[in-house]
Amino acid sequence: MNIKFSELKRRTSDFEKFKPLYHSAFPAYEQVPVWILFRKAKSENILFYSVYDNETWIGFVYLIIDGDLLFLQYFAVDDNVRSKGYGGAILSKLKADFSEYRIFFAIEMPDEKAENNEQRIKRKEFYEKHGFREAGYIIEQPNVTFEILLHGDSIVVDDAYKLMKKLWGKFIWAIMKKFIKIHEKSNI
C-alpha cells in the first residue's frame, strides 16, 4: 500500500465520491453541514484530505489542529475497499505524518442498550489494535455518548472544547456548547 493524502476540493471527482460516503458513514447527528466543513477547511488549522492508495481513492479524513493537538473529526474508508487493511494503513500514515501531535477523536461509547453496540465494540477494538487508548474522557450529547481515544501524551477537557470551537466557529459553538458536555469517564 502507498497511502497518500491530497487536499479534498469541491467540484472534483473526489468531492462526488466524498458526499455519499460522508452521508452513509456518519449518522445525521454527527454530520456537520458540508458547506461548513469546506468553509472551515480554508483555515490553516483544518486539513481536509482525500486518501489514496497510489491512484485509487479510498476515503477521506478531516483534521483539526491546534498547537500539538490533532483532532480526527472524520475518518471514513470507501465501502468498495473496506476490510482490506486500509483503515489501519491510514491510521499508520496519520501517526507517522503527525508524529509530533497528540492525536485524538471520539467514538460512540459501547452501550449494551444501543442497537449498534456490537459495532461500537468492534470499532473501539480496531482503534486499540492500532495504538489508540482511552483518554479518560467522554463527550455527552443529546441521545449519544462518545468516548475519546488518544495516541500520544494525555489531553485535558479544555483541549477537546478548544478544538470543537475551532470546528464550529464562535457563533455556532456558543449555541452548541449548551448541549455538549465533556468530562472524565469516571464521572458518568
Q: By the 8 A CB rule, do 23 and 31 touch? A: yes
CB 182 within 8 Å of CB 160: yes
The one-letter code for the residue type at 95 is: K
Q: Can you give the pLDDT at residue 27?
A: 83
Among residues 74, 70, 76, which one has the least CA distance to residue 57? 76
**For the domain that residue 132 is a member of, what is the CATH number?**
3.40.630.30
**Residue range 24-35: mean pLDDT, rounded:** 86
Domain count, the chain: 1
Q: C-alpha cell of 110?
A: 459501547
Nearest Cα residue to 148 out of 83, 89, 156, 88: 156
Which domain, by its residues, includes 69? 3-187
pTM of the model: 0.85
What confidence score (pLDDT) does residue 162 get? 76
* Strand, helix or coil for residue 130: coil
* Beta-strand pair 56-66/133-141: unpaired
User: pLDDT digit string (tens) for 139-162?
Assistant: 887 778 889 899 988 877 777 777
- Confidence class for position 86, pLDDT limits 50, 70, 90: very high
Q: Which residues pair with 61 in a beta bridge?
A: 49, 75
Higher pLDDT, 174 or 61: 61
- Is the per-residue pLDDT at 188 higher than 70? no
Predicted confidence at residue 141, as pLDDT, reads 79
**Mean pLDDT value of segment 66-89:** 91
- Asked if the model's pLDDT at residue 76 lies above 90, the reply is yes
